[in-house]
Amino acid sequence: MSVGFVDEEQDPDVRFVRGAGRYVDDIKLEGMQHLYVVRSPYARARVLSVKGGITGDELKATMESVGEDAGGRSTVSFPVLSASYVSYVGQPVAAVLGGDKYEAADKAEEVDVQYEPLKPVMDPERSLESEPIHPGTESNLVAAAELGKDFELKAPVEVDETLRMERIAPNPMETKGMVASYDGSLLTVYASTQSPFSWREGLAGSLGLKEESVRVVQMDTGGGFGSKGGIYPEYVVAAYAAMKTKRPVKWSESRYENLLATNMGRGVRGRMKVYADRKGKLKGLKADLLVDVGAYPLGGGAWTAKWIASQLVGPYAVPKAYATAKAVLTNKVNMGPYRGAGRPEAAFFMERMMDRIADETGVDAAEVRLRNATTRRTISPLGMEAPPSRRFFMEALRAFKYSSRKKKEKVGLSFFMLIPAAYGGESAKLAVKGGRVKVWMGGSSHGQRHDVFAKKLVSEELGVPQDVIDFQHTDTAAISGGVGSWGSRTAILGGGALVEASRSLKAAAKKELGKGYSPARILEGDYEAEAFFKPKDMLNTLGANLATARLTKEGNAVVEEVLSFYDAGKVLNQFMLESQVTGGVAQGVGEVMYERAVYSEDGQLLTASIADAGVIHATEMPKSVVMTAAHRSTLPHGAKGVGESPTIGVPPAATRALEVLLGRRFTTLPIEPEKLWALDVSDGGRTR
């Protein structure tokens, strides 16, 4: 079944350092054409006419809601190619084909699109009072949720604050892309993806095909961070063009296109009010959230506001809580998941309030948190279940050497809960043939190096050496179903499925071989086993971060060190875990100091290069120390999720460290650069 692009018997490290990785853009097929997408230069406009290329009049398809943020259906449909009006800069309106990228781009010049520009809605705070961006709708409100019960309370300490996390571009190093090829009955798609199965569902749905007539094969995938879980209009157009011309079609976007037209994360405002006693014990919490879902509320837009609100209480206990949350439309590219997807927003809002309570009461920031931590499993008034947290946080403070570090350094702390996206479970398959074991998972590694834990688990379960195990990229033709890699889920769910599939394969071999059974005999036979693993227990886990900040000799505030202490359950591979976490620390610090999508009032993206988007460089990276608390989960392999922990825990801890260093209150991420300096460098201004 292998399509032969990737040599899966070779160690991925070796393939990648040789330049022998096989990404979508590396594919060359006989007769292949390149697709170039013509995009709207306006944030909001009527489309008066489109002449040339494949247009929305020819391809009257709309987008399906699939992947990580799939969910509720919206009344607004998202056209693959818009023929009537456009709602964000970069929205596809037409597409052309050429023999190579240059020729395709030249041909795009010949496409004539006439627009009548309209005033865009850019500020989510003013979205509801603005004219609806979609004709025929009544307002820009996408969803409104109310959680918990409203209450009245007088408390000795009452603090309110408006907090913001700005929009962020996910910026995987490999931009989005695919190659489609059609043989008259089967559409084969080679994909840079987190989820071939979501792609299959989405492409089949948008093109009106049966899922059996679509095969999606994952290529080496150069990062995703949430942006490659679902499908985009360009994928549907490329697939359509391959079917129409009966020739393979490649679509591979530039970074500029990636920034304009890839779902962005965050973009949430939280108005928080907390009530506490003078010792910092929480009495009540009220919140009002506003989520900017961009132009088309594809799935996630409908439930993100409620999802964030539901986890505001985090790992703490509060007697009363009430939250309202709204999701509204603006003329920007759609909101989508970005590493953490709702979890970082909730943690940032709550942890900022914990620090405010510490400041108002004079109680130490760690002590405030401990006083509100729990000793038993709880369900918050907003409906979220949490494991007992107090003991874990005391463990974290000891691991951080918090008391002594706090005396000497400018430190910030965060406690949080990670809710892995366990819904739907995950699949895995093993096939033994010719002395080798092939392994697939339904959710696809796009940089996490799932091959490392997969080989270890299968080797341990079957008793065969790791070097006979070949980890395969996900292929919808090779495994019967699957979900996707996101939400800190694959090691726990895919890993659980691997264990189950290994055990059933082993049982089958034992039954067949009887007394002659041995692990070596498994390799002599032909066996297959597939498992779909759906855990029943709550898998929410806890984490803590400590960050320190200092001034450079020039007076710039920087994050110096980030300590992570996460309950990852039984650690499947210590090095890979540390590497995952340190990569997440980079993103967390980037989010605090640099990363942001900025739009002009007329809807143009001002941060339209990867440099402007603020992705962190080696010279800006703080020291990262990763520690784990190995409290086994109830899963067969004992693991817990960890992938998103750093983007949840690092932003509030790093923000606090900078706040303590500079004596300024920070409420919005990223912090504006002009607020990150000090004239007096005598305190903490050790030279770099």
Residues that bind other proteins (CB under 8 A): 11-23, 25-26, 28, 100-102, 171-175, 220-223, 225, 254-256, 446-449, 575-576, 579-580, 582-587, 609-611, 615, 617-619, 621, 624
Closer to other proteins by CB, 93 or 585: give it. Answer: 585
Closer to other proteins by CB, 102 or 423: give it. Answer: 102
Q: What is the dihedral of CA 120, 123, 128, 131, to 10 degrees?
A: -10
The upper half-sphere exposure of residue 18, i.e. CA atoms within 13 Å in the direction of its Cβ, equals 10
Closer to other proteins by CB, 164 or 255: give it. Answer: 255
Residue 48 burial by Cβ neighbours in a 10 Å radius (0-12, 13-18, 19+): exposed
Work out how close the CB of 323 gets to other proteins at its nearest, in angstroms, rounded to a whole number: 33
Closer to other proteins by CB, 97 or 302: give it. Answer: 97
CA pair distance 441, 428, nearest whole angstrom: 4
Work out how close the CB of 256 gets to other proteins at its nearest, in angstroms, rounded to a whole number: 6
Work out how close the CB of 564 gets to other proteins at its nearest, in angstroms, rounded to a whole number: 11
Work out how close the CB of 617 gets to other proteins at its nearest, in angstroms, rounded to a whole number: 5
Closer to other proteins by CB, 198 or 564: give it. Answer: 564
Phi-psi region of 418 (alpha: psi -120 to 50; beta: other; left: phi over 0): beta
- Provide φ and ψ at 180, rounded to 5°: -115, 140
HEC per residue, 466-490: HHHEEECCCECCCCCCCCCCCCCCH
- Provide φ and ψ at 82, rounded to 5°: -80, 130
CA pair distance 255, 613, nearest whole angstrom: 11
Work out how close the CB of 583 gets to other proteins at its nearest, in angstroms, rounded to a whole number: 5
**What separation in angstroms does the CA of 272 have from each of 163, 285, 292, 360?**
8, 7, 17, 15
Work out how close the CB of 666 gets to other proteins at its nearest, in angstroms, rounded to a whole number: 23
In the sheet that 469-471 helps form, which strands lie side by side, from edge to edge?
Answer: 469-471, 436-441, 426-433, 527-533
Pairing mode, strands 187-191 and 177-182: antiparallel
Helices 574-593, 645-662: crossing angle, 10 deg rounding = 50
Closer to other proteins by CB, 92 or 222: give it. Answer: 222
Buried b (16+ CB within 10 A) or exposed e, 104-135: beebbeebebebeebebbbebeebeebebbbe
CA pair distance 351, 272, nearest whole angstrom: 11
Work out how close the CB of 598 gets to other proteins at its nearest, in angstroms, rounded to a whole number: 16
Query: Do the Cβ atoms of 414 and 347 come closer than 8 Å?
Result: yes
Query: Do the Cβ atoms of 125 and 64 come closer than 8 Å?
Result: no
Work out how close the CB of 225 gets to other proteins at its nearest, in angstroms, rounded to a whole number: 7
Other beta carbons less than 10 A from residue 39's beta carbon:
22
Closer to other proteins by CB, 335 or 577: give it. Answer: 577
Work out how close the CB of 253 gets to other proteins at its nearest, in angstroms, rounded to a whole number: 10
Closer to other proteins by CB, 9 or 13: give it. Answer: 13
Closer to other proteins by CB, 17 or 48: give it. Answer: 17
Closer to other proteins by CB, 120 or 170: give it. Answer: 170
Work out how close the CB of 614 gets to other proteins at its nearest, in angstroms, rounded to a whole number: 11
